[in-house]
Amino acid sequence: MATSTSKAERLKRKKRKKRRRIALLTIEAIVLLLVIVCVSIYLMPNSKSFIVKIFTKCPAGQSLLKSLYKDDYDKNVLDTTTDKDKIKTVDLGDGYTNIALFGIDPRDGEFENGTHTDTIMIVSINNKTHDVNLVSVYRDSLLRMTTSDGDIDYEKANSAFFRNGVEGALNMLNNNFDLDITEYALVNFQGLAKIIDALGGVDITITDEEAFYISGYLTETRIITGMDAPDVEESGNVHLSGLQATAYCRIRYSPFTAADGTVYHNDYGRTARQRLILTKILEKAQSAGVNQLLKVADTIIKENDINGSKILSTNIPWNRIVDLLTVAVDCNLKDTVGFPYDTYTPERGEAYYGYVVPMGLEQNVIRLHQFLFPDKSYTPSRMVTKINDYLIDETGVYPPTNNSNDNSTCLLYTSPSPRDS
């Protein structure tokens, strides 16, 4: 009896020693990691890519990030309610990661339901090259979706989220465009403004008219977000705070001139401005110092959902976020476009006034796949063909005779809104 007891005690002592050794090794690894990071910051102040890779790739770095942020991330940011089994996808094979970005404009404090997605974007990442392409889906696009009662309807793209939440919005994108999106991120005005502020603001070039509209939109955006920023009184190259940049993203009554000289009007211009600001955010993040990156992480993770004030939500789990962080540091934003490419915008008095009608959904989706997945062959599904045929029969809008619709001369009429008065 004494012998068996002594054996048990020896086993316990061995286990305790083993645990202590593991703990000491972990502490030593973290200390070593911190030393490497500190030396890197001192000797190579622009070595953030190297530092981020250390944190995201080596076990000690992953352990440190996990201890700093994972619990708060799972509690404050991660959406565990979205049922991926309810999201219909098309098998596109391997090679690309596609994520939906939704921007909402919550007027009454609602965040996850009861509001429209005024911003709808598709981010496509080439998993091998880390090239990224960005697509803005025009919010007023006439597309197929499911009602809250489960019936099929054709409505504006931004109402899919209002009707059936994230699952409805993702199904709308996948069904109409033959995509495989199951992951998303959702942010409101306050979230966008705080992220930009954490990065130190953005620098862009604006016209006198854009400066006027920024100040106009700031009046309401201050009320919505509870944040403050001064009016913009200068044009040319200006530095915008988070709230000012958010107001800039809302402009749709002033022409937007792209870098290639193309002029976009109305909602085409608004989505182009949103893509520009997202590009600037990525540039700032890639050039940011360690302190700024940690400040962004604190803003998104630790300060999210404080006192019920949620600013961002996503169903991407922690381990995937760590992988995507590594990609973000090295990624190359190749191009951005608005979609559909070829559109018809009915004038006042015509049927579907206030909508963006795709001029041949099939042809538009073919071009979309060529843009997002240039190395893959694509044939439209029966679903896309069915939607294409319905839209032609319903609206009388046919594909263009040539493939050169020019958004720079197409004025997009959007439904009048008291928000824009």
What pLDDT does 351 receive? 94
User: How many C-beta atoms lie closer than 10 Å to residue 323's C-beta?
Assistant: 15
Give the per-residue pLDDT at 7.
Answer: 64
Residue 32 in tokens: 């070593």
pLDDT the model gives residue 289: 73
pLDDT of 311 over the 70 cut: yes
Q: How much is the average pLDDT of 254-272?
A: 93
pLDDT of 280 reads: 96
Question: What confidence score (pLDDT) does residue 160 get?
Answer: 95
Q: Reply yes or no on whether the pLDDT at 172 is more than 90.
A: yes
Cβ burial of 189 (10 Å; 0-12, 13-18, 19+) is: buried
| Cα-based torsion angle of the residue sequence 195, 252, 340, 144 in order, rounded to the nearest 10 degrees | 90
Model confidence at 328, pLDDT cuts 50, 70, 90, reads confident
The torsion defined by the Cα of 112, 114, 116 and 122, in degrees rounded to 10, comes to: 30
**pLDDT higher than threshold 50 for residue 272:** yes
Greater model confidence, 341 or 16: 341
**Banded model confidence at residue 401, pLDDT cuts 50, 70, 90:** confident
Separation of alpha carbons 337 and 56, rounded Å: 31
Q: Which residue has the higher pLDDT, 247 or 27?
A: 247
Which residue did the predictor score with more confidence, 110 or 100? 100
- The pLDDT of residue 138 is 97
pLDDT at 55 over 90: no
pLDDT of residue 416: 37
Cis, peptide link before residue 45, omega less than 30° from 0: no
Give yes or no for a contact between 263 and 410, defined as CB atoms under 8 angstroms apart.
no
Q: Where are the beta strands (DSSP E) in 212-331?
A: 236-240, 256-257, 263-264, 312-314
The region of weakest confidence among 20-29, 36-45, 251-260, 354-363 is 36-45
pLDDT band at 305 (very low <50, low <70, confident <90, very high): confident
Top pLDDT among 124 and 295 is at 124
CA distances from 411 to 174, 180, 270, 347, 406 (A): 27, 32, 12, 9, 10
Task: State the pLDDT confidence band at 208, using cuts at 50, 70 and 90.
Answer: very high
Is residue 291 very low, low, confident or very high in pLDDT (cuts 50, 70, 90)? confident
- Predicted local distance difference test score (pLDDT) of residue 417: 36
Q: How far apart are CA 254 and CA 251, in angstroms?
A: 7
Specify burial of residue 219 (Cβ count, 10 A radius: 0-12, 13-18, 19+).
Answer: exposed
Structure confidence at residue 65 (pLDDT): 81
Mean pLDDT of the chain: 85
Q: Is the pLDDT of residue 409 over 60?
A: no
335 sits in which H/E element: strand 332-339
The span from the first CA to the last CA of the chain, in angstroms, equals 88
**Structure confidence at residue 276 (pLDDT):** 97
> pLDDT band for position 42 (50/70/90)?
very low
pLDDT of residue 43: 47
Bridge partners of 122, per DSSP, are: 100, 135
Kindly tell me if the per-residue pLDDT of 334 is higher than 60: yes
